[in-house]
Amino acid sequence: MQIDEKTVRRVARLARINVTAAEAKSLQGELSGILDWVKMLDEVNTDGIEPMTSVEAMALRLREDKVTDGSIGPDITANAPMTEDNFFVVPKVVE
């Protein structure tokens, strides 16, 4: 499968990664190579096979519905690049 530059740019946009023209070019080849290689899986007959969701058959645990954590605003924002009064500061989203 040949991945073209337009596809690289579309996927990079979905992944929110800015790619330079040079990166887009080398990624075309690399992604095409990897996707060609994984197409080997088409040889495997998977008719009627359930996709794996968990390696061990286990039901998700439930816990009591009560507050076990909280009031740690300063901890949560401690590593943020920009904060104000325990809020994260981001560029304006709504005019």
Partner 1 sequence: MTDLTSLTLAAARDGLRAKKFSSTELTQAFITAIDKANPALNAYVLPTPGHALAQAKASDALIAKNQARPLEGLPLGNKDLFATKGIRTTACSNILAEFKPTYESTVGQNLWNAGAVMLGKLNNDEFAMGSSNETSRFGPVTNPWRRKRNGAIDNTRLVPGGSSGGSSAAVAANLCLAATATDTGGSIRQPAALTGTVGIKPTYGRCSRWGIVAFASSLDQAGPIARTTRDAAIMLSHMASFDPKDSTSVDTPVPDYEAALQQGVKGLRIGIPREYRVDGMSREAQTSWDQGIAWLKAAGATIHDISLPHTKYALPAYYIVAPAECSSNLARYDGVRYGLRVAGKDLTETYENTRAKGFGKEVKRRVLIGTYVLSAGYYDAYYLKAQKVRTLIKRDFDLVWDKVDCVLTPTTPNPAFGFGEKSGDPLAMYLEDIFTVTVNMAGLPGISVPAGLSSEGTPIGLQLIGKPFDEATLFRAAQVIEDAAGHFPVPTKWWA
Residue numbers at the binding site for partner 1 (CB under 8 A): 3, 7-8, 11-19, 23, 27, 30-31, 33-35, 37-38, 40-44, 46, 49-56, 58, 60-61, 63, 72, 75-82, 88, 90-93
Shortest distance (Å) from residue 87 CB to partner 1: 11
In the numeric block, which tokens belong to residue 42? 């088409």
> At residue 76, what is the residue type?
I
| Residue 66: CB minimum distance to partner 1, A | 13
Cross-strand partners of 87: 84
CB of 45 to partner 1, least distance (A): 9
Cα separation, 20 vs 39, in Å, equals: 28
Q: What distance in Å separates the CA atoms of residue 17 and residue 9, rounded to the nearest whole number?
A: 9
Tokens at residue 20, please? Answer: 């330079």
**For residues 16 and 70, which CB has a smaller minimum distance to partner 1 in the complex?**
16
